[in-house]
Amino acid sequence: MELWYTEEHTSNVKFSMKVDKQIVSLQSDFQRIDVFESYEFGKVLVLDGFLMITEKDEFIYHEMIVHVPMAVNPNIKKVLVIGAGDGGTVRELTRYNNIEQIDMVEIDEKVVEVCKEHIPQTACKLTDERVNLYFEDGLKFVRTKHDEYDLIIVDSTDPFGPGEDLFTKEFYGNCFKALKEDGILVNQHESPYYTNDAIAMQRAHEKIKSVFEVARVYQVHIPTYPSGHWMFGFASKKYDPIKHLNEEAWNFLNIKTKYYNTDLHKGSFAIPNYVKELLNYDK
Amino acid sequence: MDKRRNTEVTQNNAPIAEALDKHINNRVVRFDVPGHKGGRGDKELTDFFGERLLKIDVNSMKNLDNLSHPVSVIKDAQDLAAEAFGAKDCFFIVNGTTQAVQTMVMSACKAGDKIIMPRNVHKSAINSLVVCGAVPVYINPGINKRLGIALGMSVKDIEKAIEEHPDAKAILINNPTYYGICSDLEKIVEVAHKNNMLVLVDEAHGTHFYFGDNMPVSAMAAGADMAAVSIHKTGGSLTQSSILLCGESVDDNFVDYVRQIISLTQSTSASYLLMASLDIARKSLSLYGKEMFKKTVEFAEYARGEINKLGGYYAYDEEIIDGDAVFNFDKTKLSINTRDIGLAGIEVYDILRDEYGIQIEFGDLGNILAIISAGDRYMEIERLISALAEIKRIYSKDPVGMFDHDYINPEVIVAPQKAFYSSKKSVPIHESSGKISGEFIMAYPPGIPVLAPGEKITDEIISYVDYAKEKGSLLMGTQDMDVENINVVVEE
């Protein structure tokens, strides 16, 4: 007997992994949630059929979405995390002692419940005393905030399904308003490779660019995501992600990482020509 | 015609849709129109619309009945709709609610007959006067100064109009208005019937009144003689499909006359897509309408509360009810006044679409209207609220200098039909003051005429047109597509 989990990366491309068993399968108010035990990638979280994280490569995603902004402004004290129900982003944030408050807003409480029980590797720090969990719509939460956060991390699903409103201009605008004058916004920015992902990436960049003075993207290599080539967005009211990189201060913290380092930080903002073209980057 | 109702069908049936299903399964060979023959004739057409839709696009035939003379499945479907809406009879309309409104007026009035109506009617009503030659007696609907919107019809004004024009044949009422304002229908019906006048209700935006809980009274429940109901607006059928209802007060003879009037203007190739959509929408409304509109009201109430918290916007609710010209308010309507952020409604409407990808129903000078239905989700409601918050943050201006809109009371010099068909000449709008208009000017949406044929053009109207143009309102109606020139009546 063989069990395989398959995700369609496009209607003509499939990605499959052999699984030992299905640990969770349930329907929440928002989406279908599955957890598999796989042979190659350890536990795998799947929402509405789309792979979210695997135990084997989640460190790449979570280190890159957190340490890049933290190395630009190591004085960040108050952070808003939107989405991120698996807890991996919060886990990385809690490694900074000077962060005082982490508000995490996840629309689907069930995702957090499932991850706490079955994927402690990522969910282990959701009980940290600096963390406040809110189970509501991210757009609604951020709409009521003014001049409050040093950093907003949007760790969302794709721009269809329950994460759709986290890719809109009104969302980015309300994030701008919720950030302090030196605030930074980092977001899951889709992929340049397959057409539909690339369109989502273009649209997100266009909207962020119309709201923030600084709007850059950086790349990251995630083996289990479609094409493996993934992007994050870095937007800010004043910090340039390379010019203002504070290498010394970050390295002084001596945070042990598996993927991130400050050389890679600089390199990740160097992007291929076809991606620059897609984003009208130098114009 | 056989008036007996087919007792074999119930609200759980959709006779037209069921007959279409059966027809397709029979794989009948097509040697009739339409020429696309179920889509086989044009691959691009089929790819674009989908095979199923093209197969259903058929013409009248024995087993599918005929809208011009319904005896089987269309009759059953219309009877079920009449039952669902509490009406004596129902006609399916495939040329838009415009046709339903025109049928009401043309059934009630002949050339030269008077009809009482508020001036803020949809252009379809005034167009029907051009077609049939009836003469309007306009009632000033009154304006809510704070909001700059026209109100409902005051019973006192109607009584006065009846006294002055006891020979009028009918009263046409817009209920609810686009903004959700309702008049005292029951009282108006009582007054009109006492004076032998028919009550015709343009209920284009009122489908939900027949199915939701705690809704304002519907035309049929109030005892009106006829009502034009745009099922496609809030009832879920396809665009352009509509129904015309006849109340218990009208006799069979009149109903048959109405059918004749409909056939003057209705297509003889009525679309089965539209008719089946009316049939299925009626079934859904009957079975799930109460629940659907409960959800709709919840969405609208939530949005109103949150939008009012933003400040600068005023999403109005039942507090505007005054027992007279605002006898009731339709709570499913999300009407928002934008004056205090210094933007015209039409400007907010444009920004929402161009910058945020959100299409709302309309913007006028002081308000926007978002249509809410059971098809919405909280996510989209949140997007609308958040986008409004952003528009306020980024675009708001000092409200000083906003146009203080007032109702422009028209002076009708010539009956609309006479003015429309008289000798006319084109003059620049800015040189037209004092002349009699030979055509319409309206801002669209909402499609309520600023000027109608036979009315005197004034400086006030011209400056209103200029302001509406400047704010980006889409003006139309004149022969000149740019609305720079207007045809005026050549006075002899």
Contacts of B378 in chain A (CB under 8 A): 137
Residues of chain A below pLDDT 50: none
- Cβ–Cβ of B379/A164 closer than 8 Å? yes
Of residues B404, B477, B492, the one with CA closest to residue B444: B477
Q: What kind and span of H or E run contains B382?
A: helix B378-395
Predicted local confidence at residue B406, as pLDDT:
59
Reported ipTM: the value is 0.87
Question: Do B15-285 and B416-489 come out as alike in CATH topology?
Answer: no
Q: Does A169 touch chain B (CB under 8 A)?
A: yes
Q: What is the pTM of this model?
A: 0.88
Query: Using CA atoms, how far apart are residues A211 and A233, in angstroms rounded to an integer?
Result: 13
Nearest CA in chain A to B381: A140
Predicted local confidence at residue B175, as pLDDT:
94
Tell me the pLDDT band of B492, cut-offs 50, 70 and 90.
Answer: low
Please report the domains of chain A, with CATH numbers, ordered by start residue.
3-54 (2.30.140.10), 58-278 (3.40.50.150)
Amino acid (one-letter) located at B92: F
Q: Does A174 touch chain B (CB under 8 A)?
A: yes
Strands B114-118 and B135-139: parallel
- Cβ–Cβ of B379/A168 closer than 8 Å? no
Predicted local confidence at residue B434, as pLDDT:
94
| B219-267: pLDDT as tens digits | 999 999 999 999 999 899 999 999 999 999 999 999 999 999 999 999 9
- Cβ–Cβ of A165/B389 closer than 8 Å? no
Q: What is the CA radius of gyration of chain B?
A: 23
Helices (H), ranges, B86-165? 96-108, 123-132, 155-164
Annotated domain spans of chain B? 15-285, 290-395, 416-489
Contacts of B387 in chain A (CB under 8 A): 168-170
- Asked if B322 and B120 touch (Cβ cutoff 8 Å), the reply is no
Residue B357 has pLDDT above 50, yes or no: yes
Nearest to A139 among B355, B357, B382 (CB): B382
- Cβ–Cβ of A140/B382 closer than 8 Å? yes
Query: Using CA atoms, how far apart are residues A178 and B401, in angstroms rounded to an integer?
Result: 32
The shortest C-alpha distance from B475 to chain A (Å) reads 30
Q: What is the mean pLDDT of residues B373-399?
A: 93
Whole-angstrom CA distances from B396 to B335, B341, B366 are 19, 5, 14
Of all residues in chain B, the percent with pLDDT exceeding 90 is 76
Contacts of B359 in chain A (CB under 8 A): none
Predicted local confidence at residue A157, as pLDDT:
85
Contacts of B357 in chain A (CB under 8 A): 168-169
Nearest CA in chain A to B391: A170
- Cβ–Cβ of B389/A137 closer than 8 Å? no
Query: Using CA atoms, how far apart are residues A235 and A282, in angstroms rounded to an integer?
Result: 16
Residue B111 has pLDDT above 50, yes or no: yes
- Cβ–Cβ of B378/A137 closer than 8 Å? yes
Q: What kind and span of H or E run contains B231?
A: helix B231-234
Nearest CA in chain A to B379: A165
Predicted local confidence at residue B447, as pLDDT:
64
Architecture of domain B15-285 in CATH?
3-Layer(aba) Sandwich (3.40)
Q: Does A145 touch chain B (CB under 8 A)?
A: no
| B427-477: pLDDT as tens digits | 999 999 999 999 989 876 566 788 999 999 999 899 888 888 887 778 888
- Cβ–Cβ of B389/A164 closer than 8 Å? no
Residue B120 has pLDDT above 90, yes or no: no
Residue B2 has pLDDT above 50, yes or no: no
Contacts of B385 in chain A (CB under 8 A): 140, 143
Q: What kind and span of H or E run contains B370?
A: strand B367-371
Say what angle helices B15-25 and B272-310 make with each other, to 10 degrees. 130
Nearest to A169 among B355, B382, B389 (CB): B355
Residue B3 has pLDDT above 60, yes or no: no
B480: CB partners within 8 A, 6+ apart:
B426, B486
Predicted local confidence at residue B443, as pLDDT:
76
- Asked if A163 and B379 touch (Cβ cutoff 8 Å), the reply is no
Size of interface A-B (CB pairs under 8 A): 46
The residues facing A83 across adjacent strands are A155
- Cβ–Cβ of A137/B379 closer than 8 Å? yes
Highest mean pLDDT, choosing among A89-93, B370-374, B397-401 = A89-93
Helices (H), ranges, B153-196? 155-164, 185-194
C-alpha atoms less than 13 angstroms from C-alpha of B435 in its C-beta half-sphere: 23
- Cβ–Cβ of A143/B382 closer than 8 Å? yes
Residue B1 has pLDDT above 50, yes or no: no
CATH number given to B290-395: 3.90.1150.10
Predicted local confidence at residue B4, as pLDDT:
58
Predicted local confidence at residue B444, as pLDDT:
66
> What's the CATH superfamily of B416-489?
Molybdopterin biosynthesis moea protein, domain 2 (3.90.105.10)
Contacts of A162 in chain B (CB under 8 A): 379
Nearest to A174 among B378, B379, B389 (CB): B389
Q: Does B357 touch chain A (CB under 8 A)?
A: yes
Nearest to B386 among A162, A164, A171 (CB): A171
The shortest C-alpha distance from B299 to chain A (Å) reads 14
- Cβ–Cβ of A137/B357 closer than 8 Å? no
Is A155 marked active-site? yes
| B64-94: pLDDT as tens digits | 999 999 999 999 999 999 999 999 999 999 9
Q: List, as ranges, residues 358-397 from B with C-beta within 8 Å of A.
A: 378-379, 382-383, 385-387, 389-390, 393-394
- Cβ–Cβ of B390/A168 closer than 8 Å? no
Contacts of B383 in chain A (CB under 8 A): 139, 165, 168, 170
Residue B404 has pLDDT above 80, yes or no: no
Annotated catalytic residue within A108, A150, A155, A158: A155
- Cβ–Cβ of B386/A143 closer than 8 Å? yes
Tell me the pLDDT band of B145, cut-offs 50, 70 and 90.
Answer: confident
